[in-house]
Amino acid sequence: MHAIPALALKDARVLARDRAALFFTICFPVLFAAVFGLVYSGMGGQRADVRIVAVDSAGTPESIALIRRLDDSDVLAVDAAVSLEVARDLVRRGRRSAYIALPEGYGDMSGVLLTGRSPEIELGIDPSRTHERAMIEGLLSQAAFEQLGASMRDPDRMRALVGAARQRLRADEGFSPMDRLGAEAMLTRLEELAGTIEQLESDGDNADPAPSPGATANPNAPSEPSPNTPAVSESVPDPAPAFSPVSIAVT
């Protein structure tokens, strides 16, 4: 029984004479565990956002909504900057990962309807954060397309855009007669599309609830069409030509 403590004491004395072995036997495991504990201590909590800064020179409801969409994402945290110079300086000094600058005129969809071009959003990214570049570009394009889709699903919003585009078309003398005819035809189709969307929403709101399983059929109700009766197709206007809602200039 006394041999085991004696052997352990002898090994401890031998280990104490070899400082390198003593360090890797006792100190290194403790340091290793401490470092990994610090690295992974926040993994179970809230993740760190990619912080960017935005300069809104437009001040339109569309530009404000776009910035809000980006800030509401699970990845980005967006702060406001008073000027483009301040935003660039924050990115240059590594205080923010990137900046976006919304120019004056952003959100004027009447011009986009007629020309297919929108004011460019300037996107500047810290060169040391190249792995975040594609992610930020993708989120920015996604937010712009979602915003465009939401406006095109609103009949009142679509009619307002068509009205503004018509006023711009009449005031702009740079359009040729053929271009004017084509633009007017497109705006008319958009008006028809807005009416179709509104009618579908109205039909959905006024639809009768489905009868319960035990309900008795109304004898005066019109009979169901025969399976051999040809189906009647309803003419629905073609959607408007697709166009890009945002152009990104990466600096």
Q: What is the reported pTM? A: 0.53
Q: Which pLDDT tens digit goes with each residue over 184-202?
A: 888 788 778 878 877 887 7
Work out whether strand 50-56 and strand 76-80 pair parallel, antiparallel, or are unpaired: parallel
Quote the DSSP letter at residue 132. Answer: G
164 in the same domain as 115: no
pLDDT of residue 3: 66
Q: How far apart are CA 161 and CA 54, in angstroms?
A: 26
Q: Which pLDDT tens digit goes with each residue over 138-182?
A: 888 888 888 777 766 777 877 877 787 788 788 877 778 888 888
pLDDT of residue 67: 92
Handedness of CA 126, 129, 131, 135 (dihedral sign): negative
Q: Which pLDDT tens digit goes with each residue over 51-104?
A: 999 999 988 888 898 999 999 888 899 999 989 999 999 999 989 999 999 988
Instruction: Report the chain's mean pLDDT, rounded to a whole number.
Output: 73
198 in the same domain as 185: yes
Structure tokens at 32: 């290793």
Residue 65: give the domain boundaries: 50-152+244-250
Q: How far apart are CA 47 and CA 52, in angstroms?
A: 16
What is the DSSP secondary-structure string of 67-129?
HHHHHTSSSEEEEE-SSHHHHHHHHHTTSSSEEEEEPTTTT-HHHHHHHS--PEEEEEE-GGG
In this structure, is residue 219 part of a structural domain?
no
In this structure, is residue 99 part of a structural domain?
yes
Q: How many domains does the chain have?
A: 2
Q: Which residues of 135-157 are buried (b: 16+ CB within 10 A; e: fewer)?
A: ebeebbbebbeebbeebbeebee
Nearest 5 degrees, angle CA 135-CA 141-CA 147?
Answer: 135
pLDDT of residue 208: 57
Whether the pLDDT of residue 221 is over 70: the answer is no
In this structure, is residue 239 part of a structural domain?
no
99 in the same domain as 61: yes
Structure tokens at 30: 């403790």
Stronger pLDDT, 60 or 18, i.e. the higher one: 60
55 in the same domain as 98: yes
177 in the same domain as 98: no
133 in the same domain as 182: no
Which residues, other chains included, contact 122 with Cβ-Cβ below 8 Å and sequence gap of 6+?
Answer: 84, 99, 100, 101, 103, 249, 251
